[in-house]
A and B are shown apart, each in its own frame.
Chain A
């Protein structure tokens, strides 16, 4: 850590001791979220999500391909994330590094494990032909909390996606079959406080990070801890509760934006 980040860290610590955050939010308060869908005409589904100044774009493309040998009658999904140099002075072009890989895998897990996409319904000919769903995440502006922004963008894009059956001469286009999505909420810990939806400044000085995806019942569908700090059992409980509470609000907003 060089001089400037140390000054910044001390400032954020000092504020935290007074119960404040740099941008004036409460520790359990999320930034403003904006969701816009249908932003790319060539994509099967697309969305742009803003959380504060952070901006992520997700695009869904679909192809006809071969199924995996261990699941011959279900469709295939893959997720990729690109931290393009446009989004931050610290991002470099080239093949994805570990941060991009972790991001893509956490988003992928949130979608896959909760079976948001009904892959069983994406079979065309068992063992031969199935639909392949590509979720591509483009980070446009990086001001912290990419995990939540990317997950939300992926869900919003999926929610508006149409299966391009006509292009492959397989009948008429129809909406991508989906189930209720889980919502991811990320918190970080610094100076022994836990704060939800970290801004970039907070993320840079954080000791530990925890992402929790919860569903409509308030059940937990995926978790990922990151960074080289640690959490106590009580802190984990607190993070889960904040994730359930904020997840409920974010879900409402997502439904409103996709007209559900």
Chain B
């Protein structure tokens, strides 16, 4: 579907007033749920995501167990009321695919070999959706895993870049996602910049891809600082209360 909306003006200003490299406002809070082993609430622009981590615990059914390491089950789920037209509850093909790529990304950073036969369940609930929910979900999952005390080589973080009206920009908003030219969600392990998730749809030249990729990685590092602060805030205030 094409649109006549001007997504970015001649001064490089976007619909919501952001510059090309600016991210939407992000708020992260760790340890928000009582029953979960680790949890995180994240707001990223209009996205609201809640993540609960359970485990490591015995993997069920037993045939799903891996005798050498833990399995990571990320489940991405959208609330029926999170989008414009009500979403039918339950997993659809889109959410299954996202669950799979997020699980694989998290497996790269979690020290799964420390928990043979176990499962680490990461439940990602999208309560309010406005473009970039998989990045928001993976970012929140990183914080929730840290909150659960799961050993990891790094806290995974995600951010997208894309192309709108011929310009490469970071972190697409709703209209930019709907009417833009390309979307490139990236997740990295921020200490080494290793890429653990990468998807792309749309149209990018090789130069544009390189530019978008670098912008996404840059965005990841910005978000990574907010993640670390959320974890510090949670445990600093907890230790002060004691």
Q: Which residues on the A side are within 8 Å of B93 (C-beta)?
A: 101, 104-105
- Find A1's partner among B1, B68, B85 (CB 8 Å cutoff): B68
Are A228's CB and B104's CB within 8 A? yes
Of the candidate stretches B9-17, B23-31, B187-195, the one touching chain A is B187-195
Which 8 residue pairs of A and B lie closest in terms of their CB atoms, listed nearest first? A223-B200, A228-B107, A230-B194, A225-B198, A113-B201, A228-B104, A231-B195, A98-B100
- Find A228's partner among B85, B97, B108, B201 (CB 8 Å cutoff): B108
Chain B: which residue is nearest A97 at the CB level? B96
Separation of A98 and B97 alpha carbons in the complex (Å): 7
Per-position binary interface string of chain B over residues 1-23, scored 1 when its CB falls under 8 Å from any chain A CB and 0 otherwise: 10000000000000000000000
Q: Which residues on the A side are within 8 Å of B189 (C-beta)?
A: 230
Of the candidate stretches A171-179, A195-203, A232-240, the one touching chain B is A232-240
Give residues of chain B (169-227) contacting chain A, Cβ–Cβ below 8 Å: 184, 189, 193-206, 209, 213, 217
Q: Which residues on the B side are within 8 Å of A98 (C-beta)?
A: 96-97, 99-100
Separation of A240 and B1 alpha carbons in the complex (Å): 28
Q: Which residues on the A side are within 8 Å of B204 (C-beta)?
A: 219-220
Are B195's CB and A230's CB within 8 A? yes
Separation of A229 and B197 alpha carbons in the complex (Å): 9
Chain B: which residue is nearest A2 at the CB level? B67
Residue B34 lies at the interface, judged by CB distance under 8 Å to chain A: no
Are A222's CB and B200's CB within 8 A? yes
Are B203's CB and A236's CB within 8 A? no
Are A113's CB and B213's CB within 8 A? no
Inter-chain pairs besides A236-B195, A240-B206, 12 sampled, C-beta below 8 Å: A98-B96, A101-B97, A102-B97, A215-B203, A217-B205, A222-B202, A223-B199, A228-B105, A228-B107, A233-B213, A236-B198, A244-B206
Decide: A224 near B199, CB < 8 A? Known: A98-B97, A101-B97, A218-B206.
yes
Q: Which residues on the A side are within 8 Å of B201 (C-beta)?
A: 109, 113, 221-223
Chain A: which residue is nearest B196 at the CB level? A230
Residue B36 lies at the interface, judged by CB distance under 8 Å to chain A: no
Residue B127 lies at the interface, judged by CB distance under 8 Å to chain A: no
Separation of A147 and B1 alpha carbons in the complex (Å): 27
Q: Which residues on the B side are within 8 Å of A231 (C-beta)?
A: 194-195, 198
Are A229's CB and B108's CB within 8 A? yes
- Find A221's partner among B68, B103, B202, B217 (CB 8 Å cutoff): B202
Query: Chain A: how many interface residues by the 8 Å CB criterion?
Result: 34
Are A223's CB and B198's CB within 8 A? yes
Chain A to chain B contacts (Cβ below 8 Å), 28 pairs: A1-B68, A70-B1, A71-B1, A101-B96, A102-B100, A109-B201, A113-B203, A217-B205, A220-B203, A220-B205, A220-B206, A222-B201, A223-B184, A223-B199, A223-B201, A224-B198, A224-B200, A225-B195, A225-B198, A227-B104, A228-B103, A228-B107, A231-B195, A232-B195, A233-B195, A236-B195, A240-B206, A240-B209
Separation of A108 and B189 alpha carbons in the complex (Å): 29
Residue A253 lies at the interface, judged by CB distance under 8 Å to chain B: no
How near does chain A come to B224, taking the closest CB pair, in angstroms?
Answer: 16
Give residues of chain A (166-225) contacting chain B, Cβ–Cβ below 8 Å: 210, 215, 217-225
Chain A: which residue is nearest B68 at the CB level? A1
Secondary structure of the A side of the interface? mixed
Q: Which residues on the A side are within 8 Å of B205 (C-beta)?
A: 217-220
Are A225's CB and B199's CB within 8 A? yes
Residue A114 lies at the interface, judged by CB distance under 8 Å to chain B: yes
Q: Which residues on the B side are within 8 Å of A224 (C-beta)?
A: 101, 198-200
Separation of A69 and B97 alpha carbons in the complex (Å): 24
Are A225's CB and B101's CB within 8 A? yes
Residue B62 lies at the interface, judged by CB distance under 8 Å to chain A: no
Give residues of chain A (108-151) contacting chain B, Cβ–Cβ below 8 Å: 109, 113-114
Separation of A148 and B99 alpha carbons in the complex (Å): 22
Residue A226 lies at the interface, judged by CB distance under 8 Å to chain B: yes
Separation of A59 and B202 alpha carbons in the complex (Å): 25
Separation of A69 and B191 alpha carbons in the complex (Å): 45
Residue B63 lies at the interface, judged by CB distance under 8 Å to chain A: no
Chain A: which residue is nearest B93 at the CB level? A101
Residue B88 lies at the interface, judged by CB distance under 8 Å to chain A: no
Separation of A231 and B93 alpha carbons in the complex (Å): 26
Chain B: which residue is nearest A69 at the CB level? B85
Residue B94 lies at the interface, judged by CB distance under 8 Å to chain A: yes
How near does chain B come to A253, taking the closest CB pair, in angstroms?
Answer: 23
- Find B203's partner among A102, A210, A221, A229 (CB 8 Å cutoff): A221
Chain A: which residue is nearest B201 at the CB level? A113
How near does chain A come to B174, taking the closest CB pair, in angstroms?
Answer: 14
